[in-house]
Amino acid sequence: MGVSIDDVAAQAHVSTATVSRALRGLPRVSEATRAKVFSVAAELGYVPSRSASGLATGRTRTVGVLVPFVDRWYFGHAIEGIDQVLRENGYNLLLFSLGGYLHGQKRSFTESMVRKQIDALLVLSLGLSEEELRQLHHTDIPLLSVGGPVNGCRGVYIDDVAAATAAMDHLIGLGHRRIGHLRGGVQDEQTFRVPALRTVAFEAAMARAGLEPRPGWNAAGEFTVSDGMQAAARIFEAPGERPTALFCGSDEMALGAMFEAQRRGIRIPEELSLIGIDDHDFSAPAGLTTIAQQPWEHGRAAAGMLLAELGGTAGAVRDVTMPFELKVRRSTAPPPREA
Amino acid sequence: MGVSIDDVAAQAHVSTATVSRALRGLPRVSEATRAKVFSVAAELGYVPSRSASGLATGRTRTVGVLVPFVDRWYFGHAIEGIDQVLRENGYNLLLFSLGGYLHGQKRSFTESMVRKQIDALLVLSLGLSEEELRQLHHTDIPLLSVGGPVNGCRGVYIDDVAAATAAMDHLIGLGHRRIGHLRGGVQDEQTFRVPALRTVAFEAAMARAGLEPRPGWNAAGEFTVSDGMQAAARIFEAPGERPTALFCGSDEMALGAMFEAQRRGIRIPEELSLIGIDDHDFSAPAGLTTIAQQPWEHGRAAAGMLLAELGGTAGAVRDVTMPFELKVRRSTAPPPREA
DNA sequence: CTGTTAGCGCTTTCAA
DNA sequence: TTGAAAGCGCTAACAG
């Protein structure tokens, strides 16, 4: 069914080797020959077989992307950026989603998943076990993390401690002293470090400002709207005075808190200031103050480095710290007078 | 570097053919031999080369997934479902994102992208041009759409007309007569038909109820929060009386409208009812009434049919209509008395 | 139940 | 600048 290189060679009256060289833009092919080959190939609708060239070269021109979820803000946008760069360079993107940070059998991916079918792997915000890392390094394809530090592997991401600190500085600068914390990512803290980094920064900022975190003002959950809602509800229902501001581990949590506050008639920002991290698509419309990051740029940068490395630039894969930016919107203001 | 089938064969003292049969679970291999082969393979860390078996069989065990975006609610969730089923069956998922419904060069994907590297293609809510369809059918791999009808191609999706009608019936049943419409997906109407179907249903429902749509109560944009916001703003600013309810083409638009209403102090549902379609992750937390659909189930169903077809069940790929469900939440109520 | 052998379609020396 | 030929690692007859 398929048109093969031999068909093109026959039709163009040259050898298969020449067709191969011509089509791949290699030197040492006369312009006349090259033109002829191109026209015949186009005419026949020839498309090279990836399997065959993969087998012959040992390279698949495919990059694997391992993600915990595809249906979450950061990941969707990062994948978009990765895809762009890959496609621009003729690479394919093979997607592996874990559908959650599950451990166990679903994670027996590394060995079989990776070997012999991808030239490089991008790991998105995902903690890897020692064993997994060992296996991945053993296959010795370039490896790079996006969105958060992964043990023993270079990465592209923002400085989460600095970002969270900037958020806290904003709150403290406005005069808040009763600051609560919606902590995220409790499920996988050993391996996925971003939520913990943000929490550490929160605590450090509190200490630096001479403020004491109160247990009743602290609630945890995953980085999702519904967990944000529930966590906020717990804080709102805790006895004693309410915090005047909430530092949220992610915008999704902050938005959940915002919905919950609205439902209870707690006015934002008059009675409660809210700040998140990410700049989720919903944040600007909702008027949420946040620390913005740009996952698609992370994806682009990471994919670019990986391709450079594959292209022969040894050491192209480096740790890169991406910028973040405070976006002040309607959800933060000085605390109420009486506070 | 790589352990090949020959290494396993040598070590197990059998032929490569036997190793191949044993590892793939084919019949006519003694249990003793099979066990031996498995243990040697494990010991050596053997992983078959996809390129080689792809070349030999002509099948790649890879399914392509073509999406307009990966960072939008419907697509992210659909991909998640597809990925699950594919992975459970040892298939890979090759992702092609268009990063928007762009036409032109970015869309010269079909021919080169598809051929010789995937066994089947899933097209997500994406209109295809005649030429693209022709090419795809020409490659004659199974083809299936998810999320919306695609000309000349079977698909898995909800009945959008019925879904939109259910939403309208809810509004009308509550007593609303001044109903506005946030119309979505204006950019690609010729090819991507879902938004148009929902609009048609809106108009039909209005007519059936003897209501006349007013131009000032109608605004269009893409299926996004920010477009929903802007469209709602236009309606709120139009001269004359305001609608008492807004039928929105998607939850993202409805949520945009909700944010805009809140910003303007328009109370929901007392002054304005809002209904969307989708049941976006944010909808339950925001209390948005909607017609729920489950894209991950669409993805699972579609991937399942495709695999059945590839497995030899001719005719496995069929049109399937998925269920939807009205979820009444806090954003809808009867219109205010004076209305 | 197992082994031999001939490709699958491309790339890549090595010669010419 | 071009061609001939030897694989890449696996599968699939066909024998035995």
Q: What is the pLDDT of residue A138?
A: 75
Q: Of A52, A125, A63, nearest to A309 (Cα)?
A: A63
Q: Residue A331 pLDDT more than 80?
A: yes
Q: Residue A1 pLDDT more than 90?
A: no
User: Rounded mean pLDDT of chain B?
Assistant: 91
In A, which residues are within 8 Å of B70 by CB distance?
Answer: 70, 76, 79-80, 83
| pLDDT band of B65, cuts 50, 70, 90 | very high
Q: What is the DSSP string of B59-120?
A: --SEEEEEES-SSSHHHHHHHHHHHHHHHHTT-EEEEEE-SSS--GGGGTTIIIIITTT-SE
Mean pLDDT, residues B133-148 = 85
In A, which residues are within 8 Å of B45 by CB distance?
Answer: 111
Tokens matching residue B120? 């089947």
| pLDDT band of B278, cuts 50, 70, 90 | very high
**Cβ–Cβ of B47/A112 closer than 8 Å?**
yes
| Inter-residue contact A291 to A326 (CB < 8 Å) | yes
Rounded CA separation B192/B141 (Å): 22
Backbone angles phi, psi at B268, to 5 degrees: -115, 125
In chain A, where does DSSP find H-type helix?
Answer: 5-12, 16-23, 31-44, 50-57, 73-88, 130-139, 160-173, 194-208, 225-237, 251-264, 283-286, 295-310
In A, which residues are within 8 Å of B65 by CB distance?
Answer: 95
Q: Residue B73 pLDDT more than 80?
A: yes
| pLDDT band of A112, cuts 50, 70, 90 | low
**Radius of gyration, alpha carbons of chain A:** 25
Complete edge-to-edge strand list for the sheet that includes strand A289-292: A218-220, A179-183, A245-248, A273-278, A289-292, A325-327
**Cβ–Cβ of B80/A70 closer than 8 Å?**
yes
Q: What is the pLDDT of residue B106?
A: 52
Q: Residue A218 pLDDT more than 60?
A: yes
- Of the two residues B151 and A301, the one the predictor is more confident about is A301
Query: What is the distance in angstroms measured between the alpha-carbon CA of B245 and the sugar C1' of D8?
Result: 66
CA closest to A77 among chain B residues: B71
Task: Select the residue of B47, B72, B80 nearest A116 (Cβ to Cβ).
Answer: B47
CA closest to B1 among chain A residues: A139
In A, which residues are within 8 Å of B50 by CB distance?
Answer: 51, 54, 60, 116-117
Mean pLDDT, residues A13-27 = 95
Q: Lowest-confidence range among B78-92, B114-128, B229-243?
A: B114-128
Identify the helix (H) or strand (E) that includes residue B310: helix B295-310
Residues 6+ apart with CB under 8 A from A283: A251, A254, A255, A276, A290, A327, A329
Q: Residue B216 pLDDT more than 70?
A: yes
| Inter-residue contact A61 to A46 (CB < 8 Å) | no
**Cβ–Cβ of A95/B79 closer than 8 Å?**
yes
Distance of CA A2 to the CA centre of its chain: 38
Q: Lowest-confidence range among A56-70, A287-301, B33-47, B119-133?
A: B119-133
Q: Residue A258 pLDDT more than 80?
A: yes
Q: Residue A339 pLDDT more than 60?
A: no
Q: What is the pLDDT of residue A140?
A: 77
Q: How many contacts does A have with B, using Cβ atoms within 8 A?
A: 160
Domains of chain A plus CATH, in order, are 5-53 (1.10.260.40), 62-156+294-322 (3.40.50.2300), 160-292 (3.40.50.2300)
Q: Lowest-confidence range among A160-169, B83-92, B278-287?
A: B83-92
Measure CA to C1' and name the residue nearest D3. Answer: A15
Q: What is the pLDDT of residue B102?
A: 59
Q: What is the pLDDT of residue A191?
A: 61
**Cβ–Cβ of A49/B256 closer than 8 Å?**
no
**Cβ–Cβ of A47/B112 closer than 8 Å?**
yes
Q: What is the pLDDT of residue B187?
A: 74
Detail the protein residues whose CB sits closer than 7 A to any atom belonging to strand C.
Answer: A 2, 4-6, 16-17, 20-21, 23-24, 46, 48-49, 52-53, 55-57; B 13-18, 21, 27-30, 32-34, 52, 55-56, 58
Nucleic strand D within 7 A of Cβ A11 = no
**Cβ–Cβ of A80/B93 closer than 8 Å?**
no
- Nearest-neighbour CA in chain A from B11: distance (Å): 20
| Chain B span 253-282 residues with beta carbon within 7 Å of strand D | none
Rounded CA separation A116/A140 (Å): 11
Sign, CA torsion A303/A309/A312/A313: positive
Query: What is the distance in angstroms measured between the alpha-carbon CA of A56 and the sugar C1' of C7?
Result: 15
Tokens matching residue A232? 């906020």
Q: Residue B115 pLDDT more than 70?
A: no
Mean pLDDT, residues B256-265 = 96
Mean pLDDT, residues A301-322 = 94
Q: Lowest-confidence range among A210-219, A266-275, B90-99, B120-129?
A: B120-129
Interface with A, mutate which of B55, B57, B70 (most A CBs under 10 A) = B70
- Nearest-neighbour CA in chain A from B117: distance (Å): 6
Of chain A, the end-to-end C-alpha distance in Å amounts to 77
- Give the number of C-alpha atoms closer than 13 A to the C-alpha of residue A311, restricted to the C-beta side: 13
Q: Residue B110 pLDDT more than 70?
A: no
Task: Using a cut of 0.85, tell me whether the model's pTM lies above it.
Answer: yes
Omega before residue B269 within 30° of 0, cis? yes
